[in-house]
Amino acid sequence: MSRVADFPVLHEATGRRLQARVKSLPAVWLYDEQGSRLYEDITRLPEYYLPRREAEILRVRSAAIAEQTRAQALVELGSGTSKNTRLLLDALTARGTLERFVPLDVSEETLATTAETIAAAYPGVSVQAIVGDFERDLGAIPEDGRRVIAFLGSTIGNLDPGERARFLTTLAAALEAEDALLLGIDLVKDIARLEAAYNDPGGVTERFVRNALTAVNRELDATFDQRRFVYEARWDPGHEWIDIGLRAREAHSIALRRLGLDIAFEEQEPLRVEISAKFRRDRLDLELDRAGLRLASWWTDPAGDFAIALIRNARKEARDE
């Protein structure tokens, strides 16, 4: 297992975001070992439909994906437990092309377990796990062979428009003409259903979000007090995303002693921990085009809740013609 995550960069980004006009935390703080376990609990909640809808699509379309990509390497960004990815692994191994699986994730413990499990289940496939952040560590991904880079679970929705543009542009530079990007995206739908997915009655999502404060306290010697914040997840119609985070109950200050910073919160001031953007096909087409990518195939579940997009590098395809 290789390690490429640059945690000093994460620490610097944390300090910068907490001093911004709208205070926020990098979402990567959500995914320490405890956070990764909580997220797996979220995926089993009846309100959280995303992984089930994605799995519905992959059960039907994985064989077509394997046929279209003939991938020798399957790279998964933000792999977690790779539960839905097994449907792709099954199809690609059945197709007879897959040689290597490369999961990349920030949680070393989760990644090690996933790599061991996949290696045992697919003995003919080499597993090369990378501890890293998908926004910063794309350069660590092996470049040889035909690759399909999977970014599932609508994780791309956790990036704001500027971050998505930079991420897609970086991916476009990395994708060769024969490579493909497989993107799982949640679609705009009834607002009540969207908000329910992040406000489960058992409070699992709230514990997941609050765990980010626990991680920052531990790693940056910070003084976030959970009792001084209330959880909040609400639909932002202007941006078409769920704004997920906390709100200060009262005016107070916290210290990030490792960074030498003191941060003041006003009463009712929000602290964004994550967004979950929802997509429309025409908007995704536009974002892809700006990055030099093209939508090659588009599949949705029968309910139209979720989509999987197969994407190619338009500029390198044109150059190779």
Q: What is the pLDDT of residues 39-80, one digit of tens each?
A: 999 999 999 999 999 999 999 999 999 999 999 999 999 888
Reply yes or no on whether the pLDDT at 3 is more than 60.
no
Buried-exposed string 101-128: b where 16+ CB fall within 10 A, e elsewhere:
bbbbbbbeebbeebbeebeeebeebebb
Reply yes or no on whether the pLDDT at 197 is more than 50.
yes
Q: Is residue 163 part of a domain?
A: yes
Q: Is residue 30 part of a domain?
A: no
pLDDT value for 4: 39
**Which residue, 69, 77, 115, is CA-closest to 95?**
69
Which range marks the domain in which residue 299 is found? 50-190+279-320
Q: How many domains does the chain have?
A: 1
**With bands split at pLDDT 50, 70 and 90, how would you rate the model's confidence at 140?**
confident
Q: Is residue 114 part of a domain?
A: yes
pLDDT value for 118: 93
Q: What secondary structure does DSSP assign to 63-120, as a single string?
A: HHHHHHH--SEEEEET-TT-TTHHHHHHHHHHHT---EEEEEES-HHHHHHHHHHHHH
- Confirm whether pTM is higher than 0.85: yes
| Average of per-residue pLDDT values in the chain | 93
Among 85-94, 95-104, 128-137, 247-256, the range scoring the smallest mean pLDDT is: 128-137
**With bands split at pLDDT 50, 70 and 90, how would you rate the model's confidence at 82?**
confident
Q: Is residue 254 part of a domain?
A: no
Q: Report the CATH number at residue 287.
A: 3.40.50.150
Q: Is residue 270 part of a domain?
A: no
